[in-house]
Amino acid sequence: MVERIVYYAGCFANYYDPQIGKALIEVMRQNGIEALIPEQKCCGMPMMANGNVKGAAKNFNYNVKLLSRAASPGYDIITTCPSGNLMFRKEGLAFFDSEEARFVSGHIYDAGEYLLRLHHQGRLDTNFREIPLKVFYHNPCHLKVQNITKEPVALLKLIPGLVVSKVNTNCCGMGGSYGMKAVNYDLSVQIAQKVWEDVKAAEVDRIVTECGGCKLQLEAGTGINAVHPIVLLNEAYRSS
């Protein structure tokens, strides 16, 4: 029997950086796992942030219905989006509770969290090629608050040659579209300043972070390319 997971991509991996989703599918395939991608919409958190509670409820309910149906044979739900993960695990549940929402909340995992679990079970293919890179890992707030901080770093350290020279758990001030808004822009930049300085001081080749918003913020202030850890893992598989 083929092992399967249900993949919730989120808006960033779908519209702005499809490479993340493709990498997830390929990393899973490398480990003998098929990724199913059911129909899905924005998780609803950006709508909540703009006060569109009805729209958020509609999207959330749509998603939990389809995700729970797809995962009903006993599959785990995996996401590469920290905010989507938090939305389904906790934030949305507080306002749009349902049996399906509780099911999704109990079955959704961050991709890094899931892959490290595979590794601890001795099931992760660790036949990675060497990637001689020095990276700065930025832990997005929406993972930090779920206590997912060590897992991504532990995964990255499995890649030979890759050095995680600095781990940052401070907020970068972006918060989805929060930092893009004129009303918040200056505050967002002030918050980011510390992280930007840390990145520059670390003299790294790349930034690694799971969150699309953090990626934009960190690239904007440092000029250094930021990638999702799953993209690096996939890169490490490709030539192995």
Partner 1 sequence: MAEIPSILVLEPAAEQSQRRTAGIMVKKGPQLDLESLKAHLREIRQHSRDNHISLLEELKRNLDQYAGVKLAIATDAKQAASYIKQTAEGTDLASINKSSVVINELRPELQASGFKTYIRYFTEFKNFEKFEKKVEDYWALPGMHERGLVESFDVRKTVTRLRSSEVRDFVAILGVNAVSAEDGSVFFLQHMTNISKDLEQAKKIILVVSLEKVVKDRGAALFQTRCMGIFGLESILLDLGPKEVEQYDFDSLPTLSGDQGRELHILILDNGRKGLLKDGYKDLFLCLDCRACARQCPIGLHLLANKGMVYSPKNYLLGFLQGWLPPAEACVHCGRCQVECPVEIDIPTLLWKGQFEYYARHGRGLRKRLLDNPELLAKLGSWTAPLANWAKDRVIFKLIMQVVAGIHRQARLPTFHRQTLRKWAKGGRRG
In what side-by-side order are the strands of the sheet with 206-208?
162-168, 133-138, 206-208, 226-227
The single residue among 73, 185, 197, 203 that binds partner 1, judged by CB under 8 A, is 185
- Count of residues in contact with partner 1, rule CB under 8 A: 59
Q: How many CA atoms lie within 13 A of 185 on its CB side?
A: 6
Site string for partner 1, 94-113 (x = CB under 8 A): xx------------------
What residues numbered 43-82 form the site for partner 1, per CB under 8 A? 45-53, 55, 59
What is the smallest separation between the CB atom of 172 and partner 1, expressed in angstroms? 8
Count the neighbouring beta carbons within 10 Å of the beta carbon of residue 214: 29
Is position 151 an interface residue for partner 1 (rule: CB under 8 A)? Answer: no
Residue 1 CB contacts under 8 Å (≥ 6 apart), including other chains: none
Which residue stretch of 68-76, 103-111, 156-164, 212-220 sits at the interface with partner 1 (rule: CB under 8 A)? 212-220
Single-letter amino acid, residue 147: N
Q: What are the tokens at 55?
A: 């729209």
Evaluate whether 110 touches 211 at the Cβ level (below 8 Å): no
Beta bridge partners of 108: 77
What is the distance between the alpha carbons of residues 192 and 182, in angstroms, rounded to a whole number?
A: 15
What is the smallest separation between the CB atom of 207 and partner 1, expressed in angstroms? 14
Site string for partner 1, 16-35 (x = CB under 8 A): xxx-xxx--x----------
Site string for partner 1, 153-172 (x = CB under 8 A): -----------------xx-
Residue 231 CB contacts under 8 Å (≥ 6 apart), including other chains: 19, 20, 23
Interacting residue ranges for partner 1, rule: CB under 8 A: 9, 11-18, 20-22, 25, 37, 40-42, 45-53, 55, 59, 86, 91, 94-95, 141-142, 144-145, 170-171, 173, 175-185, 187-188, 190-191, 212, 216-217, 219-220
